[in-house]
Amino acid sequence: MSDYTPPKVWVPKESGGKFASINRPVAGPTHEKTLPVGKHPFQLYSLATPNGVKVTVMFEELLALGKDAEYDAWLIRIGDGDQFGSGFVEVNPNSKIPALMDYSGKEPIRVFESGSILLHLAQKFGAFLPTDPAKRVETMNWLFWQMGSAPYLGGGFGHFYAYAPTKIEYAIDRFSMEAKRQLDVLDRRLAETRYLAGDEYTIADIATWSWYGQLALGRLYEAAEFLDVASYANVQRWAREIDARPAVQRGRMVNRVFGEPETQLHERHDASDFETRTQDKIGD
């Protein structure tokens, strides 16, 4: 039982934990740093967290369809505070990855928040977003469900289970309950239909798979056994089907700085980079 009593006015202090060095109560840049710009119409600044994976998977899926969606993917090391550089803050004032600059039109467009990026690209290329009004709304329902739900999985469950400096039973129990409720929401939906919006693979699946699909496949927080993810049979079927897509496999590699060297493509500037620029081939 904690004897902590909140003060009348909260004052920030060192909290500890894995991300303590980048937590702060104010926005804005901490240093001057210009973002690099490559040769392609789309410039992505990201890291292969679940939110980052959404966008690299989307780009690779668009390219697999033959769309003119070539992109440069620049690595943003959030542990080093790259997201607080002045150039990055100009693209995303919230200092979170991913952030995108779209130079394909008459004027450059900045796009931030992963859901906004997926929607922007889907609308621009007419892909992974149904034209049928009912299916389009259902896609948006699940896209926004993911955007609203995942903070409880990541910042809630993931933080207290895997990253907090101390294990707090109440916090872990609270967010484990919610994580399992969310998995049950998905499992019930996927018992009814192949993909979240129906029989068509959409940006809702891309966004949701990057969090919940990877959780179901044992890739997040080393929590598969703890949350008994194997018991969600419909989520497992869906997660494995999407995981087998070649574009998804490529997208997972981009801006990845962990795992086996052959799965890490720190930056992607050409389709051939998957064959020639992974870390097992170039090292650090």
Assess whether pLDDT exceeds 80 at residue 16. no
Mean pLDDT score, 49-74? 98
CATH architecture of 133-246: Up-down Bundle (1.20)
Give the tens place of pLDDT for each residue, 116-135.
999 999 999 999 999 999 99
Q: Please provide the average confidence, as pLDDT, over all residues in the chain.
A: 96
Assess whether pLDDT exceeds 90 at residue 1. no
User: What tokens appear for 254 in the block?
Assistant: 């981009």
What's the pTM value of the predicted model, to 2 decimals? 0.97
> What is the sign, positive or negative, of the torsion defined by CA atoms of 222, 226, 231, 235?
negative
Structure confidence at residue 20 (pLDDT): 75
pLDDT band at 31 (very low <50, low <70, confident <90, very high): very high
Mean pLDDT score, 3-32? 88
Confirm if 245 and 219 have CB atoms less than 8 A apart. no
Peptide bond preceding 98: is omega within 30 degrees of 0, i.e. cis? yes
Mean pLDDT score, 8-25? 84
Mean pLDDT score, 32-40? 98
Domain residue limits, the chain? 7-127+254-284, 133-246
Identify the CATH number of the domain defined by range 7-127+254-284: 3.40.30.10
